Amino acid sequence: QVRLVESGGGLVQAGDSLRLSCATSGGFIPNYAVAWFRQSLGKATEFLAADSWNTGDIIYADSVKDRFIFSRDNAKKLVYLQMNSLKPEDTAVYYCAADWRAVASKEASKYPYWGEGTQVTVVS
């Protein structure tokens, strides 16, 4: 079965950077589409970034496209989200998600596989 485990979250000050990692294992294969989402307490899940295996193109939410960078290291079976210039409004639980159909989407409902999340807290 597919397993996704996020790590790298923590408590940082505004303006700092973090790199989140998503370790993939089990039934996951590199041609799956992978996305990053986040959810603040009491709010809906928000799309951040994703890539498609068939094209290699990366899509970003407008709110983070100038600050966040999506990447993969297939040799290490890791997916990353580099987050720069963090703001208090970035505080949330961050999730990686995967879709075997290999086509990236901004909609959370398209992804059948999810990790359990890693907390990012940004303070002023």
> What pLDDT digit, counting tens, does each position of 10-66 carry?
999 999 999 999 999 998 888 899 999 999 998 999 999 999 887 778 999 999 999
> DSSP assignment of the chain, as one string?
--EEEEE--EEEETT--EEEEEEEETT--TTSEEEEEEE-TTS--EEEEEE-TTT--EEE-TTTTTTEEEEEETTTTEEEEEE-S--GGG-EEEEEEEETT----S-GGG--EE---EEEEEE-
> What pLDDT digit, counting tens, does each position of 70-98 carry?
999 988 999 999 999 999 999 999 999 99
